[in-house]
Amino acid sequence: MGKLGGREPNHHSDLDLIFLFESGGYTKGRSRSMSSNTPFLSGEDRTINSHFFSEFGQRLIRVCNQLGPFGRLYEVDARLRPTGKSGSLAVSFDAFDRYFADGPAQLWERQALCKARPVFGSEEARRHAMEIVARAAFSTPWRPEFATEIREMRMRMEENASKRNLKRGPGGTVDIEFLVQMLQLKHGGEDPSIRVPGTLDALTALEKGGYLSFDDAEYFRGSYRFQRSIEARIRLMDAAGRHELPETDRELAKLAYLLGYSRPQELVDEAQHKFAENRARFNRIFNAAEHS
């Protein structure tokens, strides 16, 4: 899920994961060794699949999150699973399917699935998982009020963000990501070609499908690359704010140098222009979606 699902993680990006397994039942268990002078017993130490895969997921998370002499390998976040923090870490295909078909799934959860892709499993399991994901994300008929709800979610994300925040601030990268996902939810039920997890690839798919003009798609591609490249340099600087344009002259000068700008103010001016233009195009496209 998230940046990992879209094949677009940055330095220090966490890994958003959902653990799915194919079906209920029991593990085969371990058998006693033939050299133990006891009968060869099958089925020992059996457990239900949900417990086995939840334990496996927890061990994987512990290994990734463990701090070592060079820091942490990855920070894993599994809160996007259907049951959230309170439920089982691993979810069966059937339970996942039911949650979105008949359960309390929210629009934001279907939106998050726009960036889902399998990272491990047999070919058959990966194919089956993506069939379920596609059904969960795109089977609900589109309603214009969905655009309003997605826009409101976006506005809530920027309530506590500064105007210098490249991700959550007004006109930040989330504007582009939410716009892409809104268009995917709107048209993806009828057009599988736009069910693409990466933001840049999805912009191109939406353009080819006729759901986004060439001018808008080309602008958003350039703006997204620009903002993500700034984020990458900020993180390499080990700055306190991973998404914030620096406020001090010294840090801003470092960032401008890393990005090839002769003067720091040139970088600030271009970033502010991108913020304003992103938001203007975001509002125009959402306004149209709310009335169609």
pLDDT band at 156 (very low <50, low <70, confident <90, very high): very high
**Angle formed at CA 292 by CA 197 and CA 149, multiple of 5 degrees:** 60
Looking at residue 240, its pLDDT comes to: 58
> In this predicted model, what pLDDT tens digit does every residue of 227-278 receive, in sequence order?
999 999 998 886 556 788 998 899 999 999 999 999 999 999 999 999 999 9
Contact 176, 251 (CB under 8 A): no
Average pLDDT, the chain: 90
Looking at residue 40, its pLDDT comes to: 39
Q: Name the percent of the chain lying above pLDDT 90.
A: 73
pLDDT at 85 over 80: no
Quote the distance between the C-alpha of residue 250 and its chain's center: 33
- Is pTM beyond 0.85? Reply is yes
- Same CATH topology for 1-28+46-140 and 141-292? no
Looking at residue 29, its pLDDT comes to: 67
Question: Which sequence spans correspond to the domains of the chain?
Answer: 1-28+46-140, 141-292
Phi and psi at residue 141, in whole multiples of 5°? -60, 140
Q: Residues in the chain, how many?
A: 292
**Angle formed at CA 101 by CA 208 and CA 96, multiple of 5 degrees:** 90
Looking at residue 39, its pLDDT comes to: 42
- H or E, element range at 67: strand 67-68
Q: Does domain 1-28+46-140 have CATH number 3.30.460.10?
A: yes
**What average pLDDT does the segment 211-227 reach?**
97
Contact 4, 80 (CB under 8 A): no
Tokens of 110: 């279907």
CATH architecture under which domain 141-292 falls:
Up-down Bundle (1.20)
Q: Which of 158, 290, 274 is nearest to 221 (CA)?
A: 274
pLDDT at 5 over 80: yes
> In this predicted model, what pLDDT tens digit does every residue of 66-75 receive, in sequence order?
888 888 888 8
Question: How would you class 217 by CB atoms within 10 Å of its CB: exposed for 0-12, middle for 13-18, buried for 19 or more?
Answer: buried
Q: Which of 245, 257, 121, 118 is nearest to 172 (CA)?
A: 245
**What average pLDDT does the segment 194-221 reach?**
97
Report how many helices (DSSP H) and strands (DSSP E) the chain contains, helices first: 11, 6
Q: Within the chain, what is the greatest distance between any pair of CA atoms?
A: 79
Looking at residue 290, its pLDDT comes to: 94
- Three-state secondary structure readout of 111-126: HHHHHCCCCCCCHHHH
> In this predicted model, what pLDDT tens digit does every residue of 13-49 receive, in sequence order?
889 999 999 988 888 866 555 444 544 344 557 888 8
Q: Which residue has the tokens 């512990």?
A: 62
